Structure 1
Amino acid sequence: MVIQITAQSVKELRNRTGAGMMDCKKALQASSGDIDIAIESLRKKGLASANKKAGRIATEGIIESYIHAGSRIGVLVELNCETDFVARRVEFQQLAKNIAMQIAACPLVEYVSTSDISQDVIDNETRVEAEKEDLANKNQEIKDKIVAGRIQKRLQELSLMSQPFIRDQAILVEDLINQSIALLGENIKVRRFQKFILGEGLDKKNTNFATEVSNIISQ
């Protein structure tokens, strides 16, 4: 039976170790909720140091591309690390390929993280949600809570770091990067990306790319 772990326990372990949320949750489950044992487990795996490395400057790296079968969806992504040595590592290059594929498979993603989303976008999304018909008869307090929850979900939909990793739905992209930081011993950052969809913005017959995107995930 899997032990239920509270969000507060996960947050405390994350604050103390800097490891990813899913790594913290798994460590707590494996330790039956004992934080000290969970910390030791994360340290043995090298995951507890990822947060300390995250503040270091990363100016090396690679630009990776992904073109989906049929050449109708393409992605360019810049993945940074600290040294050219790590940039040449197979593990780093595989991470870049996985991230490029992840971006292609996530039609709603527009930003690297929620912190990159401008306040203007947040304000506009909040206005749209607040004006939805299903909230018309709600009192203001309940309405505000519902809108806040929907906005949080919407911002996560727009953020690459908040997406479940397509090859392992148990972790987020943020956790995947933290694992690579621990493995390679350097700070790793997704600096920017650009997605290209064939014919996007042109006047043409409506084409549904949802099937192609779902095929990416199933590969």
Structure 2
Amino acid sequence: MAEITAALVKDLRERTGAGMMECKKALTETNGDIEAAIEHMRKAGMAKADKKAGRTAAEGLIIVKAAADGKRLVMVEVNCETDFVTKGDDFRNFANAVGEVALNSGANDIDALLAAKMPDGMTVADATKALIAKIGENSAVRRMVAYNSDNILVNYLHGTRIGVVVELQGGTAELARDIAMHVAASRPQCVSEDQVPAELIEKEREIYTAQSADSGKPADIIAKMVDGRIKKFLKEVTLLGQPFVKNPDISVEKLVKDAGAKVIGFTRFEVGEGIEKKTVNFAEEVAAQAAATSK
């Protein structure tokens, strides 16, 4: 049996980031072979990661990276379970590394990004599992968007939880940034009315019609009321229809038109949006545990 020295344990800790006792145990099981110990820990870590994969990961960071020539810009959402972990170096370094891979690999969707290689040769998918094993929380590279264009590409980050990318034809980078800030604050669903799905408009029309049915007004008046509410709805959900946040007296459409520009598209990510978070009643949980132990 090879001697498991403190120096050997220290070397394994530095290479894996794992705890001292975990490193010592791995070295003992592999008879002091550090390379075998690393492989053993990776396999064990992957198994642990698979067990944590079902847990809700609705916290995290939005990462944006841009090419030096300004022609490629990517935005990635990387999730974990708690806000505490987002402040740690392990998670932050991982998220930034994934952002760099997204920028430099040429990946244009999440599947391509997960299959892309990290600097150490692991795929992003496998590196995510290794991170889970290391930090003890479920984590995920949830989504990404990539812009490749000769137009103006600008991003805006509101803290680390909201990120926006805007592609603007004509105009200036300053205008594009103002629009990105507006998108962050006002949450438009699309650029213009023609991009609003017909089924969504019809659904809203049905709701407004049902709400107006008991008004006692003639059918033609109700129809006009519903049309008015649909027009209002379309202005609320479209970027061009909304009042500009920095000057509500004008619409974003007028702002852009006066600058001789055109908004080609935008993307807004907010950490955890659309993820159903588990609500825990801690009082009930403690009471249930107490009842179980008293039996």
Q: TM-score range by the shorter chain?
A: 0.5 to 0.7
Asked if the contact 2:190/2:238 (under 8 Å) is kept, the reply is yes
Letter in 2 for 1:96: A
**Match of 1:80?**
169
Distance in structure 1 (CA, Å) of the matches to 2:150 and 2:177: 16
Deviates more, 1:110-119 or 1:132-141: 132-141
Deviation (angstroms), 1:64: 1.2
Q: Is contact 2:212-2:222 (8 Å) kept?
A: no
Structure 2 residue 151 is matched with structure 1 residue 61: yes
The residue number in structure 2 matching 1:195 is 268
Pairwise CA distance, 1:198? 1.0
| Cα-Cα RMSD | 2.0
2:152–2:172 contact (8 Å) kept in structure 1: no
Secondary structure at the aligned position of 2:155 is classed as strand
In 1, Cα distance between the equivalents of 2:242 and 2:186? 8
Change (3 A) 1:151 1:135: farther
The 8 Å contact of residues 169 and 262 in structure 2, kept in 1 or not, is answered as yes
Structure 2: gaps (5+ residues): 1-148, 280-295
Q: List gaps (5 residues or longer) in structure 1.
A: 1-58, 82-90, 182-187, 207-219
Preserved CA contact (<8 Å) 1:74 1:197: yes
State the number of aligned residues. 131
User: Distance in 1 between the 2:195 and 2:210 partners?
Assistant: 25
Identity of aligned residues (%): 37
Distance 1:94 1:205 in 2: 40
Per chain length, whose mean CA-contact separation is higher, i.e. which structure has more relative contact order (CA < 8 Å, sep 6+)? 1
Cα drift, residue 145 of structure 1: 1.2
The question of 1:204 aligning with 2:265 is answered no
**What is the 5 A alignment of 1:53-202?**
60-69=150-159, 71-81=160-170, 92-107=172-187, 109-132=188-211, 135=214, 137-181=216-260, 188-202=261-275
Q: Per the alignment, in what secondary structure is the counterpart of residue 105 of structure 1?
A: helix
Counterparts in 2 of 1:95 and 1:129: CA distance versus 1, 3 Å: same
The alignment partner of 2:253 has SS state of helix
Distance 1:135 1:63, change over 3 A: farther
The separation in 1 between residues aligned to 2:262 and 2:237, in whole angstroms, is 17
Q: 1:100 to 1:205 in 2, by over 3 A?
A: farther
Which whole-Å CA distance do the structure 2 matches of 1:162 and 1:178 have between them? 12
Structure 2 length as normaliser, TM-score? 0.41
Secondary structure, aligned partner of 1:170: strand
TM-score normalized by structure 1? 0.55
Query: Aligned AA for 1:151?
Result: I
**Larger proportion of strand:** 2
Looking at structure 1, the residues matched to 258 and 227 of structure 2 have their Cα atoms a distance apart, in angstroms, of 31
Q: Distance in 1 between matches of 2:276 and 2:263?
A: 33
Which structure has the larger Rg?
2
